[in-house]
Amino acid sequence: MTARIRVLLADDQALVRGALAALLDLEPDLDVVAEVADGTEVVDAVRRHQVDVALLDVEMPGMDGVAAAAALHDAVPGCRVLMVTTFGRPGYLRRALAAGASGFVVKDTPARQLADAVRRVHSGLRVVDPALAADSLAYGDSPLTEREADVLRAARDGGTVADIAGVLSLSEGTVRNHLSSAIGKTSARTRAEAVRVAVENGWLLGED
Q: How many domains does the chain have?
A: 2
Query: For residues 7-46, b (16+ Cβ closer than 10 Å) or e, as one string?
Result: bbbbbbeeeebeebbebbeebeebbbbbbbbebebbbebb
The CATH number of the domain holding residue 21 is 3.40.50.2300
Residue 205 belongs to a domain:
no
Give me the pLDDT at residue 207, please. Answer: 42
Residue 208 belongs to a domain:
no
d(CA 82, CA 87): 14
Give me the pLDDT at residue 149, please. Answer: 87
208, 193 Cβ separation under 8 angstroms: no
Domain of 105 in residue numbering reads as 5-139
Is residue 189 domain-shared with residue 158, that is, in the same domain?
Answer: yes
Entry pTM: 0.67
Give me the pLDDT at residue 86, please. Answer: 78
Give me the pLDDT at residue 62, please. Answer: 85
Is residue 83 domain-shared with residue 159, that is, in the same domain?
Answer: no
pLDDT tens, residue order, the chain (208 aa): 567 999 999 999 999 899 999 999 999 999 999 999 999 999 999 999 999 999 999 888 889 898 999 999 999 999 999 998 876 666 777 788 888 999 988 888 888 899 999 999 999 998 887 766 655 544 556 788 888 888 998 888 788 899 999 989 999 999 998 988 888 888 888 888 888 888 877 777 654 3
Is residue 107 domain-shared with residue 129, that is, in the same domain?
Answer: yes
| Nearest in space to 69 (alpha carbons), one of 87, 32, 94, 49 | 94
